[in-house]
Amino acid sequence: FCFIQNIHRLHVLIVLYFLQQTLGQAVRRKLRGKKVTCRLLGVILEENTPQELKNQATVRSSVLEVLSKITQICDLYLVEEVLDEESEQKVLAALGNAGAFRSGGLVKDKVHFCSAETSFTSFVRQREPNWHIDSNAEIVAELARFINYGLHVSPTKLEQSPRNVVSSSSLEQFFGLV
């Protein structure tokens, strides 16, 4: 009887450990402090296409805490395809206004822009990340053979995803905040 009680206590402790871990612990456990590349559109920003960035760039407020933790624990590079320099400036301004560049946070030099999808994938491949986070299913699938892990962020799950790619409805959900 005593043995069963101890097993039950151990089970409760294990459940509490995994359910009540801090965001920092979740980021450290899942990403392991490695190099990470992340698309801005649909993950960090509310906008989903380069065309939308011509009008505005809006940082999703719910992702700021996760972004901050990833930046503290991992070597994070943000990358996005844009149509013009004005779009770049809007993205940088939105990140700055949201507080992403504050002390100990994201470094502006690690936010990169490109003008074509092929440049985007080349940039990610050159960084040789352990993780790539993206809202574009085709990009994640294309990069899957060059990266250790991929995270596809979308309300719609991938029908057939490579073995090293996982899906989540948001970055926050992936780390257990939602």
* Per-residue tens of pLDDT for the chain, all 178 residues: 555 555 656 655 555 455 556 767 877 787 776 899 999 999 999 999 999 999 999 999 999 999 999 998 899 999 999 999 999 999 999 999 999 998 778 999 999 999 998 899 999 999 999 999 999 999 999 999 999 999 999 998 877 888 999 999 999 998 887 6
Q: Quick check: helix, strand or coil at residue 108?
A: helix
For the chain, what are the domain ranges? 23-174
Residue in this structure with the two tokens 């101890």, named with its chain if needed: 6
Q: Which pTM does this prediction carry? A: 0.84
- pLDDT at site 60: 96
Distance CA 109, CA 46 (A): 22
Give the chain's count of helices (H) and strands (E). 8, 6
Domain at 23-174: CATH architecture: 3-Layer(aba) Sandwich (3.40)
